[in-house]
Amino acid sequence: MNIIKHVKRGLWNHLMKSGIEMGLASIIYEVGVASKYVNHAMRTGDLGLAGTSNLYGEDQLALDVLADEIIKDRLDHTGRVSRIISEEQSEIIIFDRKSKAGGYSVCYDPLDGSSLVDVNLSVGTIVAIYAGDDPLQSGRHQVGAMYVVYGPRTTLVYGAGNGVHEFTLNSLGEYVLTREYLTVKKQGNIYSPGGVRCDYSLEHEKFVKKLEDEGYKLRYSGGFVPDINQILLKGGGLFMYPGTATAKHGKLRLPFELNPMAYLMEAVGGAATDGRRAILDLDCYDIDQRSPVYIGSRDEVELAAKFFAGDMK
Protein backbone atom coordinates (compact mmCIF):
# COMPACT_ATOMS: atom_id res chain seq x y z
CA MET A 1 0.00 0.00 0.00
CA ASN A 2 1.32 3.42 -0.97
CA ILE A 3 0.76 5.17 2.36
CA ILE A 4 1.32 8.67 1.04
CA LYS A 5 -1.20 8.06 -1.73
CA HIS A 6 -3.77 6.88 0.80
CA VAL A 7 -3.15 9.91 3.01
CA LYS A 8 -3.54 12.24 0.05
CA ARG A 9 -6.76 10.52 -1.05
CA GLY A 10 -8.30 10.48 2.41
CA LEU A 11 -11.82 11.78 3.08
CA TRP A 12 -10.77 14.86 5.10
CA ASN A 13 -8.25 15.94 2.45
CA HIS A 14 -10.95 15.61 -0.19
CA LEU A 15 -13.45 17.63 1.82
CA MET A 16 -10.90 20.40 2.37
CA LYS A 17 -9.88 20.45 -1.31
CA SER A 18 -13.56 20.65 -2.29
CA GLY A 19 -13.89 24.02 -0.56
CA ILE A 20 -16.84 22.82 1.49
CA GLU A 21 -17.73 25.01 4.50
CA MET A 22 -15.86 23.64 7.55
CA GLY A 23 -19.02 22.85 9.56
CA LEU A 24 -20.54 20.88 6.67
CA ALA A 25 -17.24 19.12 6.05
CA SER A 26 -17.01 18.15 9.73
CA ILE A 27 -20.54 16.68 9.66
CA ILE A 28 -19.70 14.50 6.64
CA TYR A 29 -16.38 13.50 8.18
CA GLU A 30 -17.90 12.68 11.59
CA VAL A 31 -20.60 10.49 10.03
CA GLY A 32 -17.67 8.70 8.41
CA VAL A 33 -16.07 8.27 11.85
CA ALA A 34 -19.38 6.96 13.25
CA SER A 35 -19.72 4.50 10.39
CA LYS A 36 -16.41 2.88 11.33
CA TYR A 37 -17.83 2.05 14.77
CA VAL A 38 -21.10 0.84 13.24
CA ASN A 39 -19.12 -1.27 10.78
CA HIS A 40 -17.11 -2.81 13.61
CA ALA A 41 -20.19 -3.50 15.76
CA MET A 42 -21.97 -5.13 12.83
CA ARG A 43 -19.12 -7.50 12.11
CA THR A 44 -18.38 -8.37 15.74
CA GLY A 45 -21.39 -7.51 17.91
CA ASP A 46 -24.43 -9.24 19.38
CA LEU A 47 -27.54 -8.65 17.27
CA GLY A 48 -30.13 -9.49 19.92
CA LEU A 49 -33.33 -7.43 19.99
CA ALA A 50 -32.95 -4.25 22.04
CA GLY A 51 -36.47 -4.69 23.40
CA THR A 52 -37.48 -1.14 22.52
CA SER A 53 -39.43 -0.04 19.46
CA ASN A 54 -39.24 2.93 17.13
CA LEU A 55 -41.92 5.32 15.81
CA TYR A 56 -43.26 2.64 13.50
CA GLY A 57 -43.67 0.05 16.23
CA GLU A 58 -40.87 -2.05 14.74
CA ASP A 59 -38.67 -4.00 17.13
CA GLN A 60 -35.33 -2.26 17.30
CA LEU A 61 -32.36 -4.53 16.84
CA ALA A 62 -29.57 -3.76 19.25
CA LEU A 63 -27.56 -2.67 16.22
CA ASP A 64 -30.19 -0.11 15.20
CA VAL A 65 -30.09 1.47 18.63
CA LEU A 66 -26.30 1.38 18.78
CA ALA A 67 -25.89 2.88 15.30
CA ASP A 68 -28.33 5.65 16.18
CA GLU A 69 -26.48 6.46 19.41
CA ILE A 70 -23.07 6.50 17.72
CA ILE A 71 -24.15 8.80 14.87
CA LYS A 72 -26.05 11.12 17.21
CA ASP A 73 -22.96 11.38 19.43
CA ARG A 74 -20.65 12.22 16.52
CA LEU A 75 -23.06 14.80 15.11
CA ASP A 76 -23.24 16.47 18.54
CA HIS A 77 -19.44 16.33 18.72
CA THR A 78 -19.17 18.57 15.65
CA GLY A 79 -20.72 21.44 17.63
CA ARG A 80 -22.37 22.54 14.35
CA VAL A 81 -25.60 20.52 14.42
CA SER A 82 -28.62 22.04 16.17
CA ARG A 83 -31.40 19.55 15.32
CA ILE A 84 -31.62 15.99 14.06
CA ILE A 85 -34.28 13.62 12.83
CA SER A 86 -33.47 9.93 13.10
CA GLU A 87 -35.45 6.95 11.79
CA GLU A 88 -35.00 5.50 15.27
CA GLN A 89 -36.37 8.50 17.18
CA SER A 90 -40.05 9.45 17.48
CA GLU A 91 -39.44 13.22 17.49
CA ILE A 92 -36.97 15.89 16.45
CA ILE A 93 -33.89 15.91 18.72
CA ILE A 94 -32.64 19.37 19.73
CA PHE A 95 -29.01 19.67 20.78
CA ASP A 96 -29.10 22.29 23.53
CA ARG A 97 -27.01 24.90 21.86
CA LYS A 98 -28.30 28.29 20.93
CA SER A 99 -29.23 28.23 17.30
CA LYS A 100 -26.42 30.22 15.80
CA ALA A 101 -25.44 31.30 12.32
CA GLY A 102 -23.72 28.46 10.50
CA GLY A 103 -25.65 25.72 12.25
CA TYR A 104 -26.98 22.66 10.43
CA SER A 105 -29.82 20.17 10.77
CA VAL A 106 -29.45 16.53 9.86
CA CYS A 107 -31.93 13.76 8.96
CA TYR A 108 -30.55 10.25 9.00
CA ASP A 109 -31.43 6.59 8.91
CA PRO A 110 -28.67 5.03 11.01
CA LEU A 111 -29.07 1.50 9.69
CA ASP A 112 -31.50 1.21 6.80
CA GLY A 113 -32.40 -2.39 6.05
CA SER A 114 -31.19 -3.53 9.47
CA SER A 115 -33.37 -6.65 9.25
CA LEU A 116 -30.99 -7.84 6.51
CA VAL A 117 -27.95 -7.97 8.80
CA ASP A 118 -28.81 -11.32 10.28
CA VAL A 119 -29.12 -12.87 6.82
CA ASN A 120 -25.75 -11.33 5.94
CA LEU A 121 -26.95 -8.95 3.22
CA SER A 122 -25.68 -5.40 2.75
CA VAL A 123 -27.23 -2.50 4.68
CA GLY A 124 -26.57 1.21 4.91
CA THR A 125 -26.62 4.60 6.62
CA ILE A 126 -28.34 7.49 4.83
CA VAL A 127 -27.87 11.19 5.72
CA ALA A 128 -29.46 14.46 4.55
CA ILE A 129 -27.93 17.80 5.65
CA TYR A 130 -29.64 21.21 5.76
CA ALA A 131 -28.38 24.65 6.74
CA GLY A 132 -30.20 26.18 9.70
CA ASP A 133 -32.36 24.86 12.50
CA ASP A 134 -35.14 23.12 10.60
CA PRO A 135 -34.66 19.47 9.58
CA LEU A 136 -38.16 19.32 8.04
CA GLN A 137 -37.45 21.14 4.79
CA SER A 138 -38.05 20.35 1.14
CA GLY A 139 -35.24 18.14 -0.14
CA ARG A 140 -34.35 20.84 -2.67
CA HIS A 141 -32.86 22.83 0.27
CA GLN A 142 -30.27 20.19 1.17
CA VAL A 143 -26.67 21.41 1.21
CA GLY A 144 -25.27 17.89 1.23
CA ALA A 145 -26.14 14.19 1.47
CA MET A 146 -24.31 10.93 1.91
CA TYR A 147 -24.67 7.22 2.46
CA VAL A 148 -22.50 4.38 3.71
CA VAL A 149 -22.83 0.81 2.40
CA TYR A 150 -21.84 -1.96 4.85
CA GLY A 151 -21.22 -4.80 2.41
CA PRO A 152 -18.26 -6.94 1.30
CA ARG A 153 -16.48 -3.58 1.46
CA THR A 154 -17.53 -0.56 3.50
CA THR A 155 -17.94 2.43 1.20
CA LEU A 156 -19.02 6.03 1.74
CA VAL A 157 -20.57 8.22 -0.96
CA TYR A 158 -21.07 11.97 -0.44
CA GLY A 159 -22.16 15.00 -2.42
CA ALA A 160 -22.14 18.62 -1.22
CA GLY A 161 -22.42 20.74 -4.35
CA ASN A 162 -19.13 19.76 -5.97
CA GLY A 163 -19.74 16.34 -7.48
CA VAL A 164 -20.51 12.96 -5.88
CA HIS A 165 -17.57 10.85 -4.75
CA GLU A 166 -17.00 7.34 -3.35
CA PHE A 167 -14.52 6.35 -0.62
CA THR A 168 -13.62 2.84 0.53
CA LEU A 169 -12.62 1.93 4.07
CA ASN A 170 -9.09 0.49 3.95
CA SER A 171 -7.28 -1.87 6.31
CA LEU A 172 -5.97 1.12 8.28
CA GLY A 173 -9.53 2.23 9.00
CA GLU A 174 -9.27 5.22 6.65
CA TYR A 175 -11.75 6.16 3.92
CA VAL A 176 -9.74 6.47 0.69
CA LEU A 177 -11.08 7.98 -2.54
CA THR A 178 -12.01 5.21 -5.00
CA ARG A 179 -14.36 6.96 -7.47
CA GLU A 180 -14.60 10.71 -8.12
CA TYR A 181 -17.33 12.72 -9.89
CA LEU A 182 -19.73 9.80 -10.25
CA THR A 183 -22.33 9.99 -13.03
CA VAL A 184 -25.31 7.81 -13.94
CA LYS A 185 -26.18 6.90 -17.55
CA LYS A 186 -29.21 8.54 -19.15
CA GLN A 187 -30.62 5.02 -19.60
CA GLY A 188 -29.74 1.82 -17.72
CA ASN A 189 -30.64 -1.88 -17.84
CA ILE A 190 -31.52 -2.95 -14.29
CA TYR A 191 -34.67 -2.34 -12.27
CA SER A 192 -35.53 -2.79 -8.59
CA PRO A 193 -39.32 -3.30 -8.23
CA GLY A 194 -40.26 -2.80 -4.57
CA GLY A 195 -43.61 -3.66 -3.07
CA VAL A 196 -45.89 -6.64 -3.68
CA ARG A 197 -47.00 -7.22 -7.27
CA CYS A 198 -50.60 -8.12 -6.46
CA ASP A 199 -50.94 -4.68 -4.81
CA TYR A 200 -49.64 -2.73 -7.83
CA SER A 201 -51.81 -0.10 -9.52
CA LEU A 202 -52.69 -0.75 -13.15
CA GLU A 203 -50.32 2.01 -14.35
CA HIS A 204 -47.44 0.69 -12.27
CA GLU A 205 -48.08 -2.89 -13.38
CA LYS A 206 -47.99 -1.79 -17.03
CA PHE A 207 -44.77 0.15 -16.45
CA VAL A 208 -42.98 -2.78 -14.80
CA LYS A 209 -44.11 -5.07 -17.63
CA LYS A 210 -42.74 -2.56 -20.17
CA LEU A 211 -39.31 -2.71 -18.50
CA GLU A 212 -39.43 -6.51 -18.42
CA ASP A 213 -40.47 -6.65 -22.10
CA GLU A 214 -37.50 -4.40 -22.88
CA GLY A 215 -35.14 -6.89 -21.21
CA TYR A 216 -34.28 -5.00 -18.02
CA LYS A 217 -32.64 -7.26 -15.42
CA LEU A 218 -34.29 -7.45 -11.98
CA ARG A 219 -31.93 -6.52 -9.15
CA TYR A 220 -33.58 -6.20 -5.71
CA SER A 221 -31.89 -6.93 -2.38
CA GLY A 222 -34.44 -5.48 0.05
CA GLY A 223 -31.87 -2.84 1.03
CA PHE A 224 -32.48 0.66 -0.36
CA VAL A 225 -28.83 1.71 0.04
CA PRO A 226 -27.12 -1.22 -1.74
CA ASP A 227 -29.82 -1.20 -4.45
CA ILE A 228 -29.31 2.51 -5.15
CA ASN A 229 -25.53 2.08 -4.89
CA GLN A 230 -25.68 -0.65 -7.55
CA ILE A 231 -27.60 1.65 -9.94
CA LEU A 232 -25.12 4.44 -9.29
CA LEU A 233 -21.99 2.34 -9.78
CA LYS A 234 -23.25 -0.05 -12.47
CA GLY A 235 -24.07 2.96 -14.57
CA GLY A 236 -27.80 3.22 -14.44
CA GLY A 237 -31.25 1.71 -14.03
CA LEU A 238 -34.31 2.35 -11.90
CA PHE A 239 -35.32 1.72 -8.29
CA MET A 240 -39.04 1.84 -7.54
CA TYR A 241 -41.19 1.59 -4.48
CA PRO A 242 -44.70 2.47 -5.65
CA GLY A 243 -47.83 3.50 -3.87
CA THR A 244 -49.92 0.34 -3.59
CA ALA A 245 -53.46 -0.67 -2.70
CA THR A 246 -52.36 -1.34 0.87
CA ALA A 247 -49.90 1.60 1.19
CA LYS A 248 -50.83 4.44 -1.15
CA HIS A 249 -47.81 6.52 -0.09
CA GLY A 250 -45.42 3.62 -0.54
CA LYS A 251 -42.97 2.55 2.17
CA LEU A 252 -39.88 4.73 2.01
CA ARG A 253 -39.56 7.80 4.25
CA LEU A 254 -39.04 11.23 2.69
CA PRO A 255 -36.83 12.97 5.30
CA PHE A 256 -34.04 10.39 5.66
CA GLU A 257 -34.37 7.89 2.80
CA LEU A 258 -35.80 9.58 -0.29
CA ASN A 259 -34.56 13.16 0.01
CA PRO A 260 -30.85 12.33 0.49
CA MET A 261 -30.86 9.70 -2.26
CA ALA A 262 -32.78 12.01 -4.61
CA TYR A 263 -30.22 14.78 -3.91
CA LEU A 264 -27.35 12.47 -4.83
CA MET A 265 -29.13 10.97 -7.85
CA GLU A 266 -29.89 14.39 -9.33
CA ALA A 267 -26.29 15.44 -8.61
CA VAL A 268 -24.99 12.55 -10.76
CA GLY A 269 -27.37 13.38 -13.64
CA GLY A 270 -30.25 11.08 -12.72
CA ALA A 271 -33.76 11.86 -11.49
CA ALA A 272 -36.18 10.97 -8.70
CA THR A 273 -39.96 11.45 -8.65
CA ASP A 274 -43.06 10.19 -6.91
CA GLY A 275 -44.26 9.12 -10.37
CA ARG A 276 -45.08 12.70 -11.33
CA ARG A 277 -43.29 15.33 -9.17
CA ALA A 278 -39.61 15.58 -8.31
CA ILE A 279 -38.98 14.09 -4.87
CA LEU A 280 -36.85 17.13 -3.98
CA ASP A 281 -39.80 19.45 -4.63
CA LEU A 282 -42.19 17.67 -2.26
CA ASP A 283 -43.10 19.53 0.92
CA CYS A 284 -41.56 17.69 3.85
CA TYR A 285 -43.72 18.26 6.92
CA ASP A 286 -43.61 15.08 9.02
CA ILE A 287 -40.88 12.77 10.34
CA ASP A 288 -42.62 9.63 9.09
CA GLN A 289 -43.87 11.09 5.80
CA ARG A 290 -43.68 8.52 3.00
CA SER A 291 -43.82 8.79 -0.77
CA PRO A 292 -43.87 6.51 -3.78
CA VAL A 293 -40.49 6.72 -5.54
CA TYR A 294 -39.01 6.21 -9.01
CA ILE A 295 -35.30 6.99 -8.82
CA GLY A 296 -32.36 6.39 -11.14
CA SER A 297 -31.56 7.03 -14.81
CA ARG A 298 -33.43 9.98 -16.28
CA ASP A 299 -34.98 8.08 -19.23
CA GLU A 300 -36.62 5.45 -17.00
CA VAL A 301 -37.92 8.02 -14.53
CA GLU A 302 -39.42 10.03 -17.41
CA LEU A 303 -40.93 6.87 -18.90
CA ALA A 304 -42.62 6.10 -15.56
CA ALA A 305 -44.16 9.59 -15.60
CA LYS A 306 -45.69 8.86 -19.03
CA PHE A 307 -47.47 5.81 -17.60
CA PHE A 308 -48.81 7.83 -14.70
CA ALA A 309 -49.88 10.65 -17.00
CA GLY A 310 -51.87 8.08 -18.97
CA ASP A 311 -49.75 8.66 -22.11
CA MET A 312 -48.76 5.01 -22.40
CA LYS A 313 -51.10 2.12 -23.03
Size of the site for ligand AFP (CB under 6 A): 10
The answer to the question of residue 113 lying near ligand AFP (CB under 6 A) is: yes
User: In angstroms, what CA-CA distances link 302 with 171, 188, 268, 277?
Assistant: 42, 13, 16, 11
Closest distance of CB 151 from ligand AFP, Å: 13
The answer to the question of residue 294 lying near ligand AFP (CB under 6 A) is: no
Closest distance of CB 111 from ligand AFP, Å: 7
Q: List the 123-131 sheet strands across, edge first.
A: 93-94, 81-86, 104-112, 123-131, 142-150, 154-159, 164-169, 175-179
List 131's β-bridge partners, or say none. 104
Closest distance of CB 49 from ligand AFP, Å: 14
CA-nearest of 64, 34, 35 to 49 is 64
Closest distance of CB 192 from ligand AFP, Å: 8
Closest distance of CB 211 from ligand AFP, Å: 17
Q: Which of residues 140-199 bind ligand AFP (CB under 6 A)?
A: 194
> Of 31-39, 45-53, 112-120, 299-307, which part binds ligand AFP (CB under 6 A)?
112-120
Question: What is the Cα–Cα distance from 245 to 221, expressed in whole angstroms?
Answer: 22
The counts of H helices and E strands in the chain are 8, 15
Which helix (DSSP H) or strand (DSSP E) does residue 40 occupy?
helix 22-44
Q: Cα–Cα–Cα angle for 139, 145, 149, nearest 5°?
A: 125
The answer to the question of residue 260 lying near ligand AFP (CB under 6 A) is: no
Q: Is 123 exposed, middle or buried (0-12, 13-18, 19+ CB in 10 A)?
A: buried
The answer to the question of residue 114 lying near ligand AFP (CB under 6 A) is: yes
The answer to the question of residue 256 lying near ligand AFP (CB under 6 A) is: no
State the residue number with the nearest CB to ligand AFP. 224
Spatial contact of 260 and 126, defined as CB atoms under 8 Å apart:
yes
Q: Which of residues 205-234 bind ligand AFP (CB under 6 A)?
A: 222-224
The answer to the question of residue 115 lying near ligand AFP (CB under 6 A) is: yes
Question: What is the Cα–Cα distance from 303 to 207, expressed in whole angstroms?
Answer: 8
Question: Mask of contacts with ligand AFP, 122-141, x by CB under 6 A?
Answer: --------------------
> Of 17-25, 28-36, 113-121, 160-168, which part binds ligand AFP (CB under 6 A)?
113-121
Q: Which residues of this protein are in contact with ligand AFP, per CB under 6 A? A: 112-115, 194, 222-224, 251-252
